[in-house]
Chain A
Amino acid sequence: MSSRTTILEKIKQNQPTAISELPNLGTLGLESFEILDKYKAVLKGIGGDFVEVLNYDAIISFVKKNYATEKRMITTIPELAEIAATDWFNDDPHSLENVELTLVKAHFGVAENSALWVTDDLLGQRVSTFIPQYLAIVVNKKDIVATMHQAYDRIGNQEYGFGTFIAGPSKTADIEQSLVLGAHGARGLTVFFMD
C-alpha cells in the first residue's frame, strides 16, 4: 500500500467520530473605530511610513525628493513610468537584485494590522516586493478595511497564483529580541494614500 493510502486510512480510523461544526464568523470584527487613523497608527508602530497624496504627480515628486532616483526603480503603475521602469515583467527575477525601490498598488489595506493585500497581477513578478532595498505601495483611502474578517470577505474567491499581505518593512528580532528593520526584504515601506 502506498503511504498515501495508509495515512488516509489511519486518519479515517482515528479521527474523532463526533463531527464538530464550523463556527459562525459573522459576529467577529464588528468593533467600530476610526479606520484610517488606526491604520496609520499601526503602520507607524511597526516601522512603516505613510504619505497622503492627491495624485500620481505628488508621488513622483515625493519619490524624487526622498529616494536615490539615480538607482534602479521599478513599478507596475503606468502613471509612474517617469520615475520607474515598467519593462521588467518578463526578465529573469534574479536580475532585479539591484533594485533600489519598487512601487506597486495594493488591492486594499487592513486597519487593525496595517497589512496591504497584493497579488501577482499587481506585482509584475512575485519577487518584486521582496527583493528591493525599499518598497512603496499605493492604496486608495477608501480601500482600507477594518479587520482581517472584512479583508477575507473582500478577497472572497479572487483568483491568483500568489498573493501576500505586507505589513511594514521586513524585520527580525532574532538577536536578543532587538528589532532590526531590513532583514532580507525591504528596509523601509512607504504607503501612499490616495483619495
Chain B
Amino acid sequence: MKSNLEHSEAAAIFNKDVKRVDWHDETLWFVREKRDKAAHQIPEWELLRETASEIKNNVLSNMHDYLLEFESNAQKNGITIHWAADADEHNKIVHSIMEKHGVKQMVKSKSMLTEECHLNEYLSEKGIDVIDSDLGERIVQLRKEPPSHIVLPAIHLKKEDVSETFHEHLGTEKGNNDPQYLTEAARLHLRDTFLTRKVALTGVNFAIAETGEIVVCTNEGNADMGVHLADVHIACMGFEKIIPQRKHLSVFLRLLARSATGQPITTFSSHFKTPRDGKEMHIVIVDNGRTTQLGREDFRSSLKCIRCGACMNTCPVYRRSGGHSYHNAVAGPIGSILAPNLDMSKNADLPFASTLCGSCTNVCPVKIDIHNQLYKWRQVLVKEGHTPLGKTVAMKGMATVLANPMVFDFAGKAGRFVMKNMPVLVNNSLNPWYKQREMPAPPEESFREWYKKNAKESKDKKDE
C-alpha cells in the first residue's frame, strides 16, 4: 500500500461509513465465532496449542540445523534451493527462473511473502504478466489493491463491489451480485489461465526438514491446479516455515484451518516432495529481516506465526479499521509486531493501534504473546526516537508530577492535574475525547479530600 496515512487517520476515514464498518465487524466476528465453535469441539484444544508452540520454540532454537537438513533433503528430492537475503534478491531469483525458461506469464497462488516483497510490481515492470489465482486475491488484483487480510484477501469488499469489478474486467452481467454466479465467472476465467501458464508460483505453509517436502494448504485447489499443469513450480518461503518432522504436521493441520475459518481442515493439504518427471521445482528461502527478528529476544516468537489470521478476526480494532489501515502486507495484531522489524519509522504507529485487550494472544494457535509484544514494541519505538517530541516532553512532565506527591497534590488542587491529563496530553479545546463523548462531571471533592474528613480509622493515626 502506498498510503502515507497513519493507522488512526486511515481508521477514521474507514469509520465514516458506519453501516460498512458494522458489516465489516460483523462479518469478521462471524469468522471468529466459527473458530470458537471449531476449537470447542476439540477437548484437547489448549494442549494442541501448547504442543504447537513447543514445536515452534524448538524450531527457533534449531533453525540453522533444520534449514541445512531441509536443504539437503530437498536437493535429494530433485528440488533446486535458492536463498534470498531480502525482497529484492527474492524478486530477482524468481525473475531469473522465468527468464531461463523464456516465459512471460505466471500463475500464482496465495503467498503473503510475495506481497511482502512486492513481487507482482517487480515482475510487471519486467514485462511479466502475473495472475493471482486465489479468488480473493484475483479480485483485489483486478482492483489494483493489496489484500486486506492474509486469509480473506477481499474481506473488505461487498459483493456489489466484486460485481462491479467483474463486470468491468470479466464482462459479467451488470448488477448481478450473486456470489455463486461471480465465483463461476472467476472459475471459467482462471481455468483458462491454469491451462496456459508454464510457471506456477505458490507459497509454503510448512517445510519439513526431515523429508525435504513442502505443504501448501488451499480451499480452492488453485495452488494444485497451477502447479500440476505447469512445467516449473516456484515455491517461496520465509525460513521460519520450517518444521522438524512430518508427524508434526498432525498438530499444525489440526490447528490451522480451525483457527483460520473454523473448518476442520482446508480442502486440500498438498505435500510436494519431488517435481513431476521432467519438470522443475524451485524453493526460494527468504530472510528479509527475519534473521534480525530472530535476534530480538522480545520479538523472536513472532516468527512462530503460521498465518492463520485468527488474531485479525478477533481484534476489535482490526474489525473496525480494515486491513488497509495497517499499510503493511500483513495487517492486524500480528502485522503490527512484524512490521516494525522491517521498518521502524514507517510502522511506528502500528503497535499503538491496539487497546492491548489480549484477545489476539488467546486465539493464537502457536501461543505468540502478541499483546505483550505490542507493549514492548511501544517501549522500543519510544527509545529509538520514533515518537513526536511533544509527546515525550509531556510524558516527562507527567512523570515528574506523578513521582512527587507534593507536586501532585498541588497540581491536583490548583489545576486538577488529572483532569488535564486524563485523557492525557491534549489541549481541551481540541480534545478528541470530547468529540463524541462527554467528560465526567467533576465531583465536589476528591476522594482524598473526603477521606481526610471522614475516614474512620480505629487505632492508626492518619497519614497526615
Contacts and interface: CB of A to CB of B under 8 A. Distances in A.
B183 to A, nearest CB: 4
B44 A31 contact: yes
A12 to B, nearest CB: 5
Contacts of B124: none
Contacts of A147: 250, 254
Nearest to B272: A162
B309 to A, nearest CB: 13
Chain B residues touching A, range: 35 or more
- Chain B binding surface SS class: helix
Contact of B220 (A10, A28, A183): A183
A22 B53 CA distance: 10
B344 interface: no
B183 A180 contact: yes
A186 to B, nearest CB: 8
Given A31-B43, A185-B220, A175 B182 contact: yes
A91 B53 CA distance: 45
B51 A174 contact: no
Interface in A5-22: 6-8, 10-22
B25 interface: no
A164 B224 contact: yes
Interface stretch (B241-249, B347-355, B392-400): B241-249
B271 A160 contact: yes
Given A8-B67, A169-B267, A171-B219, A23 B228 contact: no
Given A147-B254, A176-B159, A23 B154 contact: no
A183 B187 contact: yes
B250 A25 contact: yes
Nearest to A176: B159
B135 A127 contact: no
A61 interface: no
Given A16-B300, A46-B264, A162-B273, A178 B294 contact: no
Contact of B267 (A13, A20, A171): A171
Interface stretch (A49-57, A68-76, A108-116, A136-144): A108-116
A161 B274 contact: yes
B291 interface: yes
Contacts of B254: 112-113, 147-148
Contacts of A66: none
B31 A177 contact: yes
Given A151-B250, A170-B221, A21 B295 contact: no
Contacts of A113: 254, 263-265
Contacts of A6: 85
B21 interface: no
Contact of B250 (A149, A169, A172, A175): A149
A21 B183 CA distance: 46
Contacts of B275: 161
16 contacts: A10-B295, A11-B291, A12-B64, A19-B58, A19-B61, A29-B250, A126-B227, A148-B249, A164-B270, A164-B271, A175-B154, A175-B159, A182-B184, A184-B191, A184-B222, A184-B225
Given A7-B291, A126-B227, A178-B159, 15 more contacts: A6-B85, A11-B64, A13-B295, A23-B54, A113-B254, A115-B265, A162-B272, A163-B270, A165-B269, A172-B220, A174-B134, A177-B31, A178-B179, A183-B183, A184-B222
